Amino acid sequence: MTRTIDTLGKAARHGMILRAECGCGNLRYYRCSDLASVLGGGRDPRSVKFRCEACRPKVKVTVLELDRDRMPKITVWKPDTAGGNLKWRPEQLK
Ligand SMILES: [Zn+2]
């Protein structure tokens, strides 16, 4: 199944997850809805820049569609803007 997801807004409406994957094996997951609220729904997910804290090469970005009946056990990084500062906190995906 291929569907063109060219904005974070579309990905958010489909409840998708963004996977940022570094060549060293470092992985982080984000809810597209969280990224859309922080970066704007018109942003192309592939244009979002992630850096690996370990080695800082280019990070590969993939947008994932989830089966709600078989949710993967992953940690998503959620934006927290309390206090006016944006911080990303890990949270178990439910
Ligand atoms: Zn890395």
19 C-alpha to center of ligand 1: Å?
14
pTM tops 0.75? no
Listed residues: CB within 5 A of ion ligand 1: 22, 24, 26, 52, 54-55
Could you tell me if 71 and 41 are in contact, meaning their C-beta atoms sit under 8 angstroms apart? Answer: no
The mean pLDDT value for 11-30 works out to 91
User: Does residue 53 register a pLDDT over 90?
Assistant: no
Domain membership flag for residue 3: no
Q: Which residues contact 16 (CB under 8 A, 6 or more apart)?
A: 5, 32, 63, 64, 65, 66
Domain membership flag for residue 78: yes
Domain membership flag for residue 1: no
- Residue 83: domain span: 8-92
Domain membership flag for residue 2: no
Q: Which CA distances in Å does 35 have to 1, 31, 80?
A: 24, 7, 11
Q: Work out how many domains the chain is built from and give that number.
A: 1
The residue length of the chain stands at: 94
63 C-alpha to center of ligand 1: Å?
19
Residue 46 in 3-state DSSP? Answer: helix
25 C-alpha to center of ligand 1: Å?
6
| Percent of the chain topping pLDDT 90 | 41
